[in-house]
Amino acid sequence: MNLSTQPVQSLSLSSGFLTAADIHMILSLQALVFQSLDGLEKKYIVPKDAAKLESHFQKGGKAIGLFDDQQLVGQCILHLPINENDKPGVMVSPLSDQEKAASSVIQGMVVAPHYQGQNLAHFLVHVWKQAMVDLEKPHILSEVVVSNIKSLAVFLNMGLQIKVCTYDPEDEVFLYILHANLHKEQGIVSSLPTAIKFVDYTDINTIKSMLEDGYIGHCWKKGNPSQLGFSLELP
């Protein structure tokens, strides 16, 4: 199923849902990207094996692929809870049980190494958002390791907002949980620079405290270190 065709700089890409018949391609691209990562970067991806992918599709999960001609150059796995008893797909969900049934979680988003730097991750998120509107899954979520500023920047650029900061004891990393409601304008005070508080993106203690006080992370700015911008939600 073709979802969208859109040029990305000098490329003309097509996108579509992947199925269980495409597991071999999914595994090949996943392995290619994983092998290109160094050190901590390998914690940014949780590789899935063939059995997990087969189970994923059998349970109604989806995946999206980006193609340059017939070559798979980007992909993401989509966890789609059906009811309140399903796993939320993130360590800590900011959603109610009712909202969870209308949600999707993006996982395993990767772009082939020789295609990186051309906004393909942004295009993947764009296609995901469009597809979730069509599937009536307006609550979209992502889970990002706090040190993964590249992915954080992509999701913030595409309208998701940091709602939770939590710890994953299994992988021994802190995570940001990001969310957007595609059916609702987010009430964020971002028109005035003075309404935004910028914090080092790895300052976990300050960020957790701000989130507990009702702040929401909704923007970022590049620097050394890069910073995340937080504002209070409008009443």
Could you give the domains of the chain? 2-143 (3.40.630.30)
pTM above 0.95, yes or no: no
pLDDT at 213: 94
**Of 158-162, 169-173, 177-181, 197-201, minimum mean pLDDT range:** 169-173
Beta bridge partners of 15: 4, 66
Region 105-132 average pLDDT? 96
- Cβ atoms of residues 201 and 211 within 8 Å: no
pLDDT of residue 194: 54
**pLDDT-based confidence at residue 5 (cuts at 50, 70, 90):** low
pLDDT over 60 at 214, yes or no: yes
The confidence score (pLDDT) of residue 2 equals 58
Q: Is the pLDDT of residue 186 over 70?
A: no
Could you give the CA distance from residue 14 to residue 28 in angstroms, rounded to a whole number? 19
Residue 102 has pLDDT above 70, yes or no: yes
Q: What is the pLDDT of residue 4?
A: 63
Q: Is 217 exposed, middle or buried (0-12, 13-18, 19+ CB in 10 A)?
A: buried
Find tokens 């796993």 and name the residue: 87
Mean pLDDT of 103-118: 95
Burial of 5 (0-12, 13-18, 19+ CB in 10 A): exposed
pLDDT tens for each residue of 58-76: 999 999 999 998 899 999 9
Question: Considering the chain, what percentage of its residues have pLDDT values greater than 90?
Answer: 77
Taken as a whole, the chain contains a residue count of 235
Handedness of CA 141, 146, 147, 150 (dihedral sign): positive
Does residue 139 register a pLDDT over 90? Answer: yes
d(CA 46, CA 206): 27
**122-126, 155-159, 188-192, 227-231: segment of lowest average pLDDT:** 188-192
Summary mean pLDDT of the chain: 90
3-class DSSP state of 217: strand
